[in-house]
Chain A
Amino acid sequence: MFGKKRINFGSAGWFLLPYFLIYFVFFFLPAISIVPMSFTEWSIIGTPKFIGLENYTSIFSDRYFVKTLSNTFIYTILVTVILTVFGLLLAILLNQKLRGRGIARTIVIMPYVISSAVAGILWRWMFERNFGIINTYLQQIGLPFVGWLSDPNIALYSIVIMNIWWSVGFNTVTFLAAIQGIPEELYQAAQVDGASPFQSFLYITIPQLKPIILYVTILCAANSFQMFDEAYVMTQGGPLGSTTTLVYKSYTEAFKSFRLGYSAALSVITCAIIIIITLVQMKANKRNDT
């Protein structure tokens, strides 16, 4: 191959220009301006007033901020772990040669195309305290009503349950495709060696799926960290702020209380958290590679 010169396909400029025009105006400008905004006090009317670090100090002294932060992290971790594990188990089940497998697959994946507004209100109706289907049946078998969305200790977990229904299908499809890509010979060889189905799962399926599991975990974490729709539709962040996440908090601060500087400071803190997590993750990945 030596001596063969790589052909120059031309310059990238004109191919990148359309994207970067839109990027600069609708992403870069607004994203960069949250930093100066976070040092001001502004309620949309009038001009922003410079107040230094006051927004930051009031965020960190607000005990609801700790609550919001812990809500966001509990929710993110729960959803990520459950959706990854359950998605994988479901993919294995739907990969078995069973009758009705095709229809079952369709039914499991279908909620993916249902909007968060519809999924949220549907589950809010099923979780309804007095007339919802779940409490009606609980009562019939002699159990007490559960305040699925009205009990501050339970509401966040109810949203997790709704999410298992709404978004596990996506993970299942991803895993199904990956499982079907594992070479059949590996399993045959293991069978010859006398491995049980569980052992082949543990020593063949899981290691083979490692990159996909990582991919699904990251995607799940990124999505659930930004949870807004479910809290907006099902609980409005309540009861007692028990389902208020970072996104929901910045939304209400900016668009309900009109504290734009405060909301910007929240965003800066959020971005800092994300950057730290990403850096730690990159470091961990590098260590795994070497």
Chain B
Amino acid sequence: MTKKKTSLFFTYLLLFLVTAYYLIPIIVLVSTSLKPQGQVLSKTWEWIPRTFTLENYQYVLQQFPYLKWTMNSLIVTIGTVLITLMISLPAGYAFARLKMRGKNILFSLVMLTIMIPFFAYTPQLYLLISKMGLKNTYLGLILPMTTSGVSIFLFRQFIQQLPPDLEEAAVLDGCSSWGVFFKVILPLTKPAIITSVIFTAVKSWNNLLWPLIASSNDAVKTLPVGLSVNIFQVETGLSNQPPYGVVMAAALLSIILPVLLFVFLQRYFVQGIATTGLK
């Protein structure tokens, strides 16, 4: 019995240590953002600021087009998710069920998007976007991010393991292939759609490389770019010390929305991640 108790004690200790490791950076984030400029760089670490201030938050909201960047990020994320679903769902269905000559070759072409890293062709993509006049536009930020075959792969795998009876019945009732797709397939594919939405949304909201290249203008600049370049001043290198109070305030503001969404939709997040793993 005592052996069981000590092992339980160590399990709880472990749980505590792990939780602390994940929580401490968040506490550092919050507490730094609430410190006045003069107290941020201090020889001793203060978990709770001696004097609380909201001046860092005020500074961020007044000095930078922060809300504009947030709106841009929202527009780009929602656009990327919607277009990805619109083009990947029919394609996933076609690869799972429909007949066509050369279908396998086409599917290997889709898989190329997973194999070839995005960065390998970003310069060429940038030149193309500039020529098409899509530089510094929402479409220029969105369209190149919708070509990834991950969602198609997910939908194909998911639809393949559905029993075809319902679709056959619908066809016998005179449904066209689009009718089957909208009336039978879409409702059944909901778990895979949730997964795809979560993956695409998180990836797009956090995306740094492409918006950094394709948006230099505040009118379309997304949050990660505005934060990194303008507020965190990362391009000046390690020798430069950004004002960490302001930096942490801006960082905290940017994670409020995703963290709230995560806490309320945690069940779907967990399900979504698990769905891909089990395929």
Residues 168-199 of chain A, each 1 if its beta carbon lies under 8 Å from chain B, else 0: 00100111111001000000000000000000
A108 x B254 contact (CB < 8 A):
no
B120 x A122 contact (CB < 8 A):
no
B147 x A98 contact (CB < 8 A):
no
Q: Classify the secondary structure of A's interface with B.
A: helix
Q: Give the distance in Å from the alpha carbon of A105 to the alpha carbon of B91 in the complex.
A: 35
List residues of chain B with CB within 8 A of the CB of A232: 208, 212, 228, 234
19 A–B contacts from the bound complex (CB under 8 Å): A15-B90, A16-B95, A16-B106, A19-B88, A31-B124, A108-B19, A112-B202, A113-B255, A115-B206, A116-B206, A117-B208, A117-B254, A118-B254, A123-B25, A125-B32, A131-B43, A136-B44, A236-B237, A250-B123
Complex interface: stretch among A52-60, A73-81, A200-208, A263-271? A263-271
Q: Give the distance in Å from the alpha carbon of A241 to the alpha carbon of B118 in the complex.
A: 22
Q: Which of B11, B120, B227, B278 contacts A250 (CB 8 A)?
A: B120
Chain B nearest Cβ from A145, distance in angstroms = 12
List residues of chain A with CB within 8 A of the CB of B205: 115
B71 proximal to A (CB < 8 A): no
Complex interface: stretch among B48-56, B60-68, B176-184? B176-184
List residues of chain B with CB within 8 A of the CB of A154: none
A37 proximal to B (CB < 8 A): yes
Chain B nearest Cβ from A132, distance in angstroms = 9
A215 proximal to B (CB < 8 A): yes
Q: Which of A7, A22, A44 contacts B87 (CB 8 A)?
A: A22
Q: Classify the secondary structure of B's interface with A.
A: helix
B219 proximal to A (CB < 8 A): no
A278 proximal to B (CB < 8 A): yes
How many interface contacts (CB-CB < 8 Å) are there between A and B?
297
The 10 A-B pairs at the shortest CB distance, nearest first, are namely A177-B274, A10-B177, A15-B94, A12-B98, A30-B124, A12-B100, A12-B94, A267-B120, A174-B277, A15-B90
B12 proximal to A (CB < 8 A): yes
A8 x B99 contact (CB < 8 A):
yes
Q: Give the distance in Å from the alpha carbon of A19 to the alpha carbon of B167 in the complex.
A: 23
A233 x B255 contact (CB < 8 A):
no
A102-150 contacts to B, CB under 8 A, are 103-104, 106-118, 121-123, 125-126, 128, 130-131, 133, 136-137, 140, 149-150
A30 x B278 contact (CB < 8 A):
no
Q: Give the distance in Å from the alpha carbon of A147 to the alpha carbon of B223 in the complex.
A: 29
Q: Which residue of A lies closest to B23 (CB)?
A: A107
Q: Which of B19, B42, B119 contacts A228 (CB 8 A)?
A: B119
B113 x A23 contact (CB < 8 A):
yes
Chain B nearest Cβ from A160, distance in angstroms = 14
Residues 113-125 of chain B, each 1 if its beta carbon lies under 8 Å from chain A, else 0: 1111111111111
A18 proximal to B (CB < 8 A): yes
Chain A nearest Cβ from B47, distance in angstroms = 9
Q: Give the distance in Å from the alpha carbon of A78 to the alpha carbon of B167 in the complex.
A: 47
B171 x A274 contact (CB < 8 A):
no
A34 x B223 contact (CB < 8 A):
no
Given contacts A93-B14, A133-B45, A177-B273, contact A122 B29 (CB under 8 A): yes
B70-121 contacts to A, CB under 8 A, are 83, 86-88, 90-91, 93-95, 97-100, 103, 106, 109-110, 112-121
List residues of chain B with CB within 8 A of the CB of A44: 127
Q: Give the distance in Å from the alpha carbon of A234 to the alpha carbon of B99 in the complex.
A: 50
A2 proximal to B (CB < 8 A): no
B188 proximal to A (CB < 8 A): no
A33 proximal to B (CB < 8 A): yes
B261 proximal to A (CB < 8 A): yes
A271 x B259 contact (CB < 8 A):
no
Q: Give the distance in Å from the alpha carbon of A271 to the alpha carbon of B202 in the complex.
A: 26
A215-263 contacts to B, CB under 8 A, are 215-216, 222, 225-226, 228-229, 232-236, 238-239, 246-247, 250-251, 254-255, 260, 263
List residues of chain A with CB within 8 A of the CB of B227: 115, 117-118, 121
A280 proximal to B (CB < 8 A): no
Given contacts A20-B106, A106-B263, contact A264 B123 (CB under 8 A): yes
B251 x A121 contact (CB < 8 A):
yes
A11 proximal to B (CB < 8 A): yes
Q: Which residue of B lies closest to A133 (CB)?
A: B45
List residues of chain B with CB within 8 A of the CB of A104: 15, 18-19
Q: Give the distance in Å from the alpha carbon of A24 to the alpha carbon of B179 in the complex.
A: 27
B116 x A271 contact (CB < 8 A):
yes
B94 x A233 contact (CB < 8 A):
no
B197 proximal to A (CB < 8 A): no
Chain B nearest Cβ from A100, distance in angstroms = 7
List residues of chain A with CB within 8 A of the CB of B206: 114-117
A11 x B99 contact (CB < 8 A):
yes
Q: Which residue of A lies closest to B261 (CB)?
A: A113
B238-279 contacts to A, CB under 8 A, are 238, 242, 244, 247-248, 251, 254-255, 258-259, 261-263, 266, 269-270, 273-274, 276-278
Supplied contacts A31-B124, A94-B15, A238-B237, 8 more A-B pairs, CB within 8 Å: A31-B116, A93-B18, A113-B202, A113-B259, A234-B234, A254-B123, A254-B126, A267-B119
Chain B nearest Cβ from A32, distance in angstroms = 9
Q: Which of A150, A174, A233, A250 contacts B234 (CB 8 A)?
A: A233
